[in-house]
Amino acid sequence: MPQAPDPSTALDAELAADLAEREARGLYRRRRIVQPRPGARARVGGREYVNFSSNDYLGLACDPRLADGLREGLTEHGAGSGAAHLITGHSALHHELEQALAAFTGRPRALLFSTGYMANIGIAQALVGRKDAVLEDRLNHASLLDGALASRAKLIRYQHADADDLDRRLAAFREKQPDARGLVMSDSVFSMDGDIAPLAELATRCRAQGACLMVDEAHGLGVCGPQGRGAVTAAGLGPDEVPILMGTLGKAFGSFGAFVAGSETLIEHLIQHARSYVYTTATPAPLAASALRALAISREEDWRRDKLAELIQAFRAAAEAHRLPLMASDTPIQPLMLGEADRAVALSRALEAQGYLVQAIRPPTVPDGTARLRITLTAAHSLDDVRGLVTALAENMDHEMDTR
């Protein structure tokens, strides 16, 4: 009898074919081994680069005060939390951070999650079910989409930043399911485009149609608004308009983790029902200590946001002078639209050869035909870094035109 093929070999063959196809389409994802350095620098393979790809918007990830927080937390609490929050993993440092985050966001309570991805999965899964609907901006972060899918509610996607389209879709859903729950989820600052959702309009539509608005402030907190209190606060909205606020600690706050802020009841509900909260080990307490330092620094050091604003303005002015294809964004996320994936990859490689790390973003992270360079600015960059990048971009794009 002929022997059946070894299943692991057969699986590998199928996976290898898929990988080869990805490679051929210019969509293969590769990691680098990166050592972050102060001043928005990064060492890769023994060479130092200016890093225009990190979300460390305030330049805090390498701040010695955060490292001090980590060290002190480590001495007091050890490296691992040892259990989930509901077992014995919830330390005094976690608790203090939750209270500080509640105060910072102006909400009664906050709840730490291990990552933003897990927070977004947990929110939708805990709040809606089969008969309900989650309405999402087409360009929302993948974790918000995955959260809606995990919840088993009907996922309805509305046109990007289009409150009228949301309104129409909400009304159609309401007509069919008058008693079901409608949860609207949106990024505040869109992670790949850098623009800001029409938060006030979304809130008005949600209120009129009895839907609940959740905003993901992963790229807004620390960056937007006075003291970095976020795009929701900057839009003049509070807990009545945005009852569910999610934030991350691994971007502007230079640390790690995430949280949801909201009412006492919302947080108690999440503690009971959010599976990505209940069934996972608490993040190590020292990370909470470094996040606490970051929060204090963000509140006190407005100069970081002022500098960031100055760099954003300088970048856009220089790029516009060279007619570079920027998207409309006044946040630190400054995408350069290139269209085809291989163009974005080629430009990213050329910049790397000149000492700049700028990530090419390709489908499926962004829609087909909208591959881009995602340039991120941080308060740790200098004006010279930014001018140097624009010069390199302009030279490479001129060269590309000449050789086309």
**Which residue number, 54 or 91, has a Cβ lying nearer to ligand PMP?**
54
In the set 77, 85, 154, 219, the catalytic residue is 219
Q: Can you say which residues are annotated as belonging to the binding site for substrate?
A: 29, 141, 365
* CB proximity list for 79: less than 8 A, separation 6 or greater: 284, 286
Helix, strand and coil in the chain, % to nearest 5: 45, 20, 35
Cβ of residue 263: shortest distance to ligand PMP, in angstroms?
22
The vertex-56 CA angle with 52 and 61, nearest 5°, equals 120
Residue 160 to residue 125: CA distance in whole angstroms: 23
User: What are the phi and psi torsion angles at 169 (to 5°)?
Assistant: -70, -35
219 part of the active site: yes
> Which residue in the list 94, 251, 307, 381 is annotated as catalytic?
251
* Residue placing its CB nearer to ligand PMP in the complex, 250 or 284: 250
User: Does the active-site annotation cover 298?
Assistant: no
Q: Is the CB of 54 or the CB of 120 nearer to ligand PMP?
A: 120
Binding residues, by number, are 29, 116-117, 141, 191, 219, 248, 365
Return the SS3 of 304.
helix
Q: Please, are residues 256 and 287 in contact by the beta-carbon 8 Å criterion?
A: yes
Which one, of 123, 57, 58, 102, lies nearest residue 276 by Cα? 123
**Per-position b or e across 254-291, b if 16+ CB within 10 A of its CB:** bbbbbbbbbeeebbeebeeebebbbebebbbbbbbbbb
Between 197 and 326, whose beta carbon lies closer to ligand PMP? 197
Instruction: Report in angstroms how near the CB of residue 121 gets to ligand PMP at its nearest.
Output: 10
Centroid of chain to Cα 193:
11
Residue closest to ligand PMP, measured at CB: 116
Would you call 154 a catalytic residue per the annotation?
Answer: no
Q: Residue 245 or 390: which CB sits closer to ligand PMP? A: 245
Residues making up the binding site for pyridoxal 5'-phosphate: 116-117, 191, 219, 248
Selection from 119, 124, 187 nearest residue 153 by Cα:
124
DSSP 110-177: EEEES-HHHHHHHHHHHH--TTSEEEEETT--HHHHHHHHHHTSEEEEE-TT-HHHHHHHHHHHHHH-
Please, what is the minimum distance in Å from the beta carbon of residue 258 to ligand PMP? 5
* Residue with Cβ nearer ligand PMP (113 or 173): 113
Which runs of E-coded beta strand occur in 149-286? 154-158, 182-187, 212-216, 244-248, 258-262
Question: Which of these is catalytic: 54, 191, 290, 348?
Answer: 191
In the complex, least distance from residue 191 CB atom to ligand PMP, rounded to whole angstroms: 4
How buried is residue 18: exposed, middle or buried, by Cβ count under 10 Å (0-12/13-18/19+)?
exposed
Shortest distance, CB of residue 16 to ligand PMP, whole angstroms?
Answer: 29
Please give the residue ranges that form the binding site for ligand PMP (CB under 6 A): 115-117, 120, 141, 143, 187, 191, 216, 218-219, 248, 250, 258
Whether omega for the bond prior to residue 243 falls within 30 degrees of 0, making it cis, is: no
Beta carbon of residue 146, minimum distance to ligand PMP (angstroms, whole number): 10
| Contact assessment for residue 377 and residue 386, using Cβ atoms and an 8 Å cutoff | yes
Active-site positions?
A: 191, 219, 251
